[in-house]
Structure 1
Amino acid sequence: MKTEARTAVLRVFWPWIRRQKRLLYGSFIILLLASVIRLLEPWPLAFAIDVVTGDVKDNTLINSVGLNHLTTENLLWICAVGVVAVAVLRAIASYVSTIGMALAGSQVMSGVRQALFAQLLRLPLSFHQRARTGDLTMRLINDIGMMREATVTAIVPLLSSSVVFLGMLSIMLFLNWALTLLILLPMPLLALGMLYSSRKIREVSRTQRKREGELAARSAEFMTGIATIQAMSLEKAATKTFNGSDTRSLQQNVRTKRLSAGLERQVDILIAIVTALVLLLGARSVLAEKMSAGELLIFISYMKNAFRPVREFAKYSGRLAKAITAGERITELLNLKPDIDRQVGLSLASEQARKDIRFERVSFAWWDAKGESEHCILHDLSFCIAGGSSVAITGSSGAGKSTLIQLLLRLYDPYAGKITLGGQDLRDYTAESLRKQIGYLPQESLLFGVTIRENIALGSNGAVSEEEIVAAAKLANAHDFILKLPQGYDTTISERGTSLSGGQRQRIAIARAAIRNSSVLLLDEPGVGLDSENERLITNALTRLMRERTCIIVTHNLSLASRADRILVLDQGRIVEQGDHHTLLGHRGRYFELWNIQKGIAP
């Protein structure tokens, strides 16, 4: 990964890091204290060796602090107490610093995850239609989790070891500068080896995370369609496809482990060579009485610890590479700019929302990655919907009916022409205030895995009372069946509402739209796929809901369309007919043909 990319990740994460600066500063100071204590670890043992071997006179530190007059027994007791004291103090400081760093890292990652989730909700519908849900879920959950784990298990130990390295290097220079320079000689070679290997590991990790994202997307796709897979006996085909993706991910994982293990072994071999040279030359210095045996022990102990940052980098290189790659994937999403800024523009008041809606030469098309028109959906549409009236939009599949609903909700903006509400372009209003004034009943009634009461209350723009929830349910013909459920309104439904029938889901969705008490109502294929009894209940509920509201109904059901004040017939993105039910039948055009087909009347 290039330096610019790492800087970009840090720049995106910096606002959340800055919020934890007090905790980070405090943890870092305690980390420094733990590192200083760690520098003292070999000294009690070195004193004990010099005391036992009689080299006290050669030990510079013992002589400098004036302990050489004490008896051997007393010196050994001091060494023993020192070993325990240093261990206890280091354990306390390390524990506090680790917990502090872990807490700060978790807080940062939690903030990033919340921001990423909010960003995914803000990104346009066109993005979500291209993206794969499983991969987005993996970025939101797994990638954030991987970065949090790397913070605790890799970055904190590396930071601690790096601080200790600087302290130990200073003491080693004081004890024997020549041996210290010998230790530093292989460092450039180690740095080059690590730079090359880590770059390879990051490349492989990036590919692996992409493979794992594809695997998550594939598994989510299969789980969503589990009923179809089982009904059509597609288990073997699904398993074969999944196993193929899993095998490719496994191969990348093995390659990452192989590169990490190779880097670790290279470091171990170089450290072993340097240790052998230091031991040989250090022993000669002891024999020449230039340093004591205890000081040589301290030097070798420091030397092995001095290489710890290098060894730990090699050990954690794979984990760090995955964390950096995860950071790139998160940053990629956080840097995306929504096509429509929900907060910019005028606030739409309910009085304004009750006025006329006009489409003025509106055209819309899907665009490819190069920004070229891929498929034109709507062509130069112009019509007016009077405030408080109802308009049904019908026509063959693919004519652009649902696209009109999406434009009114500003899920997309037209690439030509404009849509006005009370004479004001919809793009002049904030998307948020516009959508608050619109009740929307989608073709697929999506319910969430919470109670029925909460599902209905979600439609409200503010606090809602129990009486309002019950009134909305009664309007939607849902109250009676809700009371028959085990916990009534407190019944928790399954994910996506699959524990309820299609008709029950639609009636709860109607109650949700009713409690919104919006000025404009958009209905996308209401009652589709229901039996006659449920369709009757839904139609009656919608008739009550549509009163005194501007209503746009997208439907193939011409019996429902005939209840509207006006009907628009779309064909290939153009209005081919418009008028009320009786007028259109009298024209004997496209609407007349569709009506006869639905009623089974021979031409």
Structure 2
Amino acid sequence: MSKHSENQASESGLVVYKRLLGYLKSYKVQFAISIAGFLVYSLTQASFGYIIEQFIKALRMPESTSLLYVPILVVVLAFARGASFFVANFAMSKVSLGIINDLRKQVFDKMLYLPSQYYDSRNSAELVSLITFNINQVSNSASTAVKTVFREGFTVLALLAYLFYQNWQLTAIFLLVAPFMAGIVALASRQFSKLSKRIQDSMGNLAHITNESVNGYRLVRGYGGEGYERQRFNQASERNTKQGIRFNFIHSLQTPVLQFILSVALALVMLLVLNMEGAPEEHVAYIVMAGLLARPIRALTQISGQIQKGVAAAQSVFEVIDIPSEQDEGSYTVARAGGTIAINALSFRYTAIDSQVLRNINLHIPRGQSVALVGRSGSGKTTLASLISRFYEPSEGSITLDGVALSEYKQSNLRQQIALVSQNITLFNCTVAENIAYGHLADASMEAIRAAAKAAHALDFIEQLPEGFNTIIGEDGTRLSGGQRQRLAIARALLKDAPVLILDEATSALDTESERKIQAALTELMKNRTTIVIAHRLSTIENADTIVVMDNGEIIEQGSHEQLLAANGMYAGLHTSQALIQDDQG
């Protein structure tokens, strides 16, 4: 790394740390109490030299000083020292836990509104690691390190003040070694900064591999991937361990080197004291107090690594916080939309460097009509549905709902007008009723929830569960079959009763009998609603008002089922192929 790059990293770290310390403002009272406590604590430490001096003087000249004075002073200072340490430590712990709580809530709140592109390029384990691991590292930097700086820093200042008062010439010797010690600390800090970032990255990679292996354990075992996953994890763990060893090597070497330099200075002071005149108690007190400098100085030099860990973690946290939230500049709201959708000259690419996923899409969907999107995998069907739900913004062109551009709608209001049933069902580790009445549906009555479940043909299996609608279904509904999970998602959409319905392979996980039941429920659900159906099985969309055939991000055919068969184009070919496959299976 060049010197310029190192300076940039240092400046960046300083900016991050200043921003991090800004979170202390919410806890300024507790922080002030803590600092005051550490100040009292450090003064009691510096008072130790005075006690030694008075004790030796009392032994040498009993008649000059009360023998009870020193023991009483020891007890008083011990009480003050213990009380101040307790108050300071407890107050700082409240600051630390408060900062962790604030950061976690801020990051999680941010995650709820991050644009879809962010999740496309990240894995869930990294985000979990950010909240659970990184923020704890941040807290250590913002509170534990600050605590050490003030507690030990005040102690060093108090001891130096005492030493200067006793003999400023001798004390100046300690200041001569300060530049050497500062240079060692600066060198170590640069190494800590680089290694902390690498450790942070390797921890995210470990979490990612673990998450994939745990979530996909059936696939891992079914395909004999245990060895491959073990190798991946071991390599990531070893990289993390190597970075940790390097970090601890520098951290462990730094302290004894600094201690040796300090000891050389102390030895020189002792030699000079032997040749000086003065009272023995003053010389003994001076040497003892000079020796006490070693511990707080050692503690101060050790926090450099801790601070760099916190700064590296804070950078990753602030990177997420600083990402612009999903665009929501619209202000238009409507109680219930009509449902007319118009797509005009729409093109889309995920990022500026990606090729176009959709090209010049023009489509008009009248209110209450059903439109089916068909085509090969990767033709752009699901992407188009995601744009209608405004999970992405068009690169070119526009989409309107009832003549109003989607960008003009308030985001939350727009999504209240759309019910989505995806092929990737998301369920939560809560009750069946809570999964159906999710989000703004939470106030729905039990009668409405039950009616939605019945319409989705889910009531029969729900009533057979141990606690019916109050049954906890496990993480992502793992206690349910694929068809049961899909029927709960359809019940959720039925309960939402939105004017626009998007069905993305909504019957893909159902057996033939369940599909027949669901198809009947969906037919009822689609009445008087604008419906967009994405399907690979063409038999499920033959009754759609319009069938749109997509290929390579473009619309190449559209019309009714009969019209497209008569045109003998791509749709007719797909239909014939599927009919042959069904005949073979039959």
TM tier relative to shorter chain: over 0.9
Q: Aligned partner of 1:161: which letter?
A: E
**Residue 330 of structure 2 is aligned to residue 345 of structure 1:** yes
Alpha-carbon shift at residue 430 of structure 1 (Å): 2.6
Which residue pairs with 2:486 in the alignment? 506
SS of the residue 1:512 aligns to:
helix
Which residue pairs with 2:433 in the alignment? 453
Contact 2:202 2:239 in 1 (8 A): yes
- In structure 2, do the counterparts of structure 1 residues 428 and 15 end up closer, same or farther at CA, with 3 Å as the change threshold? farther
Alpha-carbon shift at residue 69 of structure 1 (Å): 4.7
| Partner of residue 48 from structure 1, selected from 51, 55, 61 | 55
Structure 1 residues 226-237: aligned runs within 5 Å: 226-237=217-228
In the aligned structure 2, how far is the partner of 1:13 from the partner of 1:433? 35
CA offset digits 1:236-280 (Å, max 9, x no partner): 121112111111111111000111111111111012112212222
- In structure 2, do the counterparts of structure 1 residues 534 and 253 end up closer, same or farther at CA, with 3 Å as the change threshold? same
Structure 1 residues 292-441: aligned runs within 5 Å: 292-293=280-281, 295-338=282-325, 340-342=326-328, 344-351=329-336, 353-367=337-351, 371-372=352-353, 374-441=354-421
In the aligned structure 1, how far is the partner of 2:71 from the partner of 2:520? 88
Alpha-carbon shift at residue 507 of structure 1 (Å): 1.0
Contact 1:172 1:302 in 2 (8 A): yes
Query: Alpha carbon RMSD of aligned pairs, Å?
Result: 2.1
- In structure 2, do the counterparts of structure 1 residues 211 and 540 end up closer, same or farther at CA, with 3 Å as the change threshold? same
SS of the residue 1:363 aligns to:
strand
SS of the residue 2:305 aligns to:
helix
Which residue pairs with 1:217 in the alignment? 208
SS of the residue 2:357 aligns to:
strand
Which residue pairs with 1:4 in the alignment? 11
| Partner of residue 152 from structure 2, selected from 152, 155, 161 | 161
Larger mean CA deviation between 193-202 and 41-50 belongs to 41-50
CA offset digits 1:210-245 (Å, max 9, x no partner): 122222212212222111111111111211121111
Structure 1 residues 52-63: aligned runs within 5 Å: 52-54=59-61
In the aligned structure 2, how far is the partner of 1:221 from the partner of 1:557? 30
Alpha-carbon shift at residue 357 of structure 1 (Å): 0.6
Alpha-carbon shift at residue 117 of structure 1 (Å): 1.5
- In structure 2, do the counterparts of structure 1 residues 190 and 574 end up closer, same or farther at CA, with 3 Å as the change threshold? same
Alpha-carbon shift at residue 168 of structure 1 (Å): 2.1
Q: Aligned partner of 2:47: which letter?
A: L
| Partner of residue 107 from structure 1, selected from 98, 102, 108 | 98
The two structures have a TM-score, normalised by structure 1, of 0.91
Alpha-carbon shift at residue 15 of structure 1 (Å): 5.5
SS of the residue 1:362 aligns to:
strand
Alpha-carbon shift at residue 85 of structure 1 (Å): 2.0
CA offset digits 1:79-120 (Å, max 9, x no partner): 222222212221111111111111112111211111111222
List gaps (5 residues or longer) in structure 2.
Answer: 1-5
List gaps (5 residues or longer) in structure 1.
Answer: 57-67
| Partner of residue 524 from structure 1, selected from 504, 527, 531 | 504
Q: Aligned partner of 2:332: which letter?
A: S
In the aligned structure 1, how far is the partner of 2:265 from the partner of 2:477? 66
Alpha-carbon shift at residue 12 of structure 1 (Å): 4.3
In the aligned structure 1, how far is the partner of 2:498 from the partner of 2:294? 68
Identity %: 31
Larger mean CA deviation between 540-549 and 419-428 belongs to 540-549
Alpha-carbon shift at residue 461 of structure 1 (Å): 4.6
Alpha-carbon shift at residue 546 of structure 1 (Å): 2.0
CA offset digits 1:341-385 (Å, max 9, x no partner): 23x21233133x224110001011233xxx33x222111010111
| Partner of residue 535 from structure 1, selected from 515, 521, 529 | 515
Contact 1:393 1:561 in 2 (8 A): no
SS of the residue 2:327 aligns to:
coil
Structure 1 residues 244-323: aligned runs within 5 Å: 244-285=235-276, 288-289=277-278, 291-293=279-281, 295-323=282-310
* Matched pairs, number: 575
Alpha-carbon shift at residue 459 of structure 1 (Å): 4.5
Larger mean CA deviation between 390-399 and 473-482 belongs to 473-482
- In structure 2, do the counterparts of structure 1 residues 269 and 69 end up closer, same or farther at CA, with 3 Å as the change threshold? closer
Alpha-carbon shift at residue 143 of structure 1 (Å): 0.7
In the aligned structure 1, how far is the partner of 2:139 from the partner of 2:411? 35
In the aligned structure 2, how far is the partner of 1:246 from the partner of 1:420? 50
Contact 2:348 2:395 in 1 (8 A): yes
The two structures have a TM-score, normalised by structure 2, of 0.93
Larger mean CA deviation between 568-577 and 255-264 belongs to 568-577
- In structure 2, do the counterparts of structure 1 residues 220 and 398 end up closer, same or farther at CA, with 3 Å as the change threshold? same
Alpha-carbon shift at residue 420 of structure 1 (Å): 0.9
Contact 2:494 2:525 in 1 (8 A): yes
- In structure 2, do the counterparts of structure 1 residues 488 and 12 end up closer, same or farther at CA, with 3 Å as the change threshold? farther
In the aligned structure 2, how far is the partner of 1:26 from the partner of 1:542? 64
Q: Aligned partner of 2:324: which letter?
A: K
Q: Aligned partner of 2:60: which letter?
A: T
CA offset digits 1:386-411 (Å, max 9, x no partner): 12222111111111000011101111
Alpha-carbon shift at residue 458 of structure 1 (Å): 1.0
SS of the residue 2:523 aligns to:
helix
Q: Aligned partner of 1:436: which letter?
A: Q
